[in-house]
Structure formats: structure tokens, C-alpha cells
Amino acid sequence: MIDIVGALMDNIISVLLITLGGVLISWSVHFVPVGGAPAAMAQATGIGTGTVQLAAGAGLTGLITAATMMGVTDSILLVLASGAIGAMIMISVTMLVGQWSYVYGVGCVPSSAKVKYDPITKDRQDLYVSQGTEGHDLPTVSYVSGIIGGGLGGIGGAMVYYYLMIIENSLPATELVGIASIFAVGIFFVNAVIPSYNIGGTIEGFHDPKFKKFPKAVISSLAATFFCAIMGVIAIGGL
């Protein structure tokens, strides 16, 4: 019989920090400039794919680099930083090559339809939006926002994985890695999906008015990840 209360009390720090990791992931998704199907047809600013898809792609690449680092060091700061860097490299490369596709393959100029001037470069945006579209490609503000989103998502994913790995249990090391990594991937997906309801298909980055809705998603993620963390601690701690 598993001592559920005992397992939870012994690992209460893990429960709280896994929840924090989930909240970070949820917040990070709002930074990622995605335009969904319209962006794939150069009808909207952002990357032409879905919110969950890109956030998960970046965050899980961060999870791979974080796990590599955790295999050789116990420093949590180093593990979190590696997770952030892995995710930031993935999203930076994807956005840059996406920019190649738009500029050289499609012939469109990067522009935002949500702001008249780019908040970072102060470049005029509205004149570069083609007729009948909501902007296209990735202006600098969206690119920077995407890097921030990737970094936060990577930190969140690495934090979830780290605190799942240090739960007290009697599993062999290889099996612990297997079950902790599957839980980490699952918790990542839960928190990548929740913000989709705020974003509704397209968001340009932190300058988009939809970004202000993030507290709703963060609170929902807090509740959802808390239950995921409890289940993770009981499942791993009870084995």
C-alpha cells in the first residue's frame, strides 16, 4: 500500500516547483509568435504553425539538453540554463529559416499588423502589410519575443524534469529517467495546450493585445499542473 500523504509531504518542494515549472511553460507560450494556417499562406504575422506544436518543439529540445546536463552535474542552475539554451537555439533557428522562406521563397517583407511601429527597432510597419493580409513574416519584435518564449519554456520544462528526478523512490536509475521524462513531456503538453484558448490561433508576441490575457492561462495552468505534480509525486514516489 502506498503511503500517499507521506510521499506528498516528503516531496512537497517537488510538488510546488513542478507547478511553478508548468506555470512558466504556460506563460512562455504567449511569447511565441505563431500565425497558424494563415501565416503559412503569408496572411498573418508569425511562424506558420500551431501554438502547441512550436512551443512543444522548442521546449522538448530544451528538455534534451537539460537531461544531457543533468547526467553530468547536480547544479540546478546549470540544468535550467541548459534547458533554456536548447529551446532558444531551436526556436531561433526555426524563426530564422522561416524568415528565409518568407523573404527569399515568397517575397514578402516582415511586418506586423498589430502595431504601427516596431517597439524595438521603431521601424514603420503598416506600409509593409500587403493588401488583404494581417501582416507576414517575423519583424524583430516578434523574433525577440520568440527567443524569450523559448527560453522560459526551456526553463519550465527543465524545472519539471529536475524536480521529478529528485523525488525519493526505490527505482533503478534508468527506469527513473524513463518515467520522469515521460511525465515531464506530458506536463509540458498540458501547459502548452492551455494557452491556446487565449491565443486562438495567432499571436505576434508580447506586443500583441492578446498577450495581456496571459493571467487567465497562468491560473488555469497553476491548477492543472498542481494536480499533475501530485500524480507525478505519488506515481514516482510510490514505486
Partner 1 sequence: MEPLTGMGVLALMGAAATIAGASEDLESDVGSQSNPNSQVQLAPQMMYPHRIYNKAISGEPPSNALMCAIGGTVATVLLGMNASVILALTIGSLVAAMIHGTFSVSSHLGRIASQNRFKQPLYLDIVKSHTPVIIAYSFITTICILVISYLMVVVLGHPFPLPLLAFIWGITIGAVGSSTGDVHYGAEREFQNVEFGSGLNASNSGNIVRKGESGVRNGYDNSWFCAKFGGPVTGIAFGMVVFLSGWITTVFDASKSAAMGWESVLAGVIIVIILAIWNRKIEVAARNAYGTYKEDQDAEVAA
Residues 35-54 that bind partner 1 (CB under 8 A): 36-37, 39-43, 47-50, 52-54
C-alpha pair distances (Å), 238 with each of 141, 184, 226, 231: 47, 17, 18, 10
DSSP conformation letters of 62-96: HHHHHHHHHTT---HHHHHHHHHHHHHHHHHHHHH
- 82 counts as binding partner 1 under rule CB under 8 A: yes
Residues 6+ away with beta carbon under 8 Å from 213:
30, 198
Q: With respect to partner 1, which residue has the nearer C-beta, 27 or 161?
A: 161
Q: In this complex, which beta carbon is closest to partner 1, that of residue 21 or of residue 110?
A: 110
**DSSP tag of 30:** T
Q: Which of 4, 16, 106, 223 binds partner 1 (CB under 8 A)?
A: 106
Touching partner 1, residues 52-71 (CB under 8 A)? 52-54, 56-58, 60-61, 63-65, 67-71
Q: How many CB atoms lie within 10 A of CB 109?
A: 15
Q: Considering all CA atoms of the chain, what is the largest pairwise distance in Å, rounded to the nearest integer?
A: 68
φ/ψ of residue 49, rounded to 5: -150, 180
| Interface residue with partner 1, options 1, 5, 107, 172 (CB under 8 A) | 107
Residue 70 or 224: the one with the smaller Cβ distance to partner 1 is 70
Site string (2-41) toward partner 1, x via CB under 8 A = ----------------------------------xx-xxx
121 lies in the binding site for partner 1 (CB under 8 A): yes
Stretch that binds partner 1, among 86-94, 203-211, 214-222, 231-239 (CB under 8 A): 86-94
Using DSSP, how many helices (H) and how many strands (E) does the chain show?
9, 2
Site string for partner 1, 151-180 (x = CB under 8 A): -----------------------x--xx--
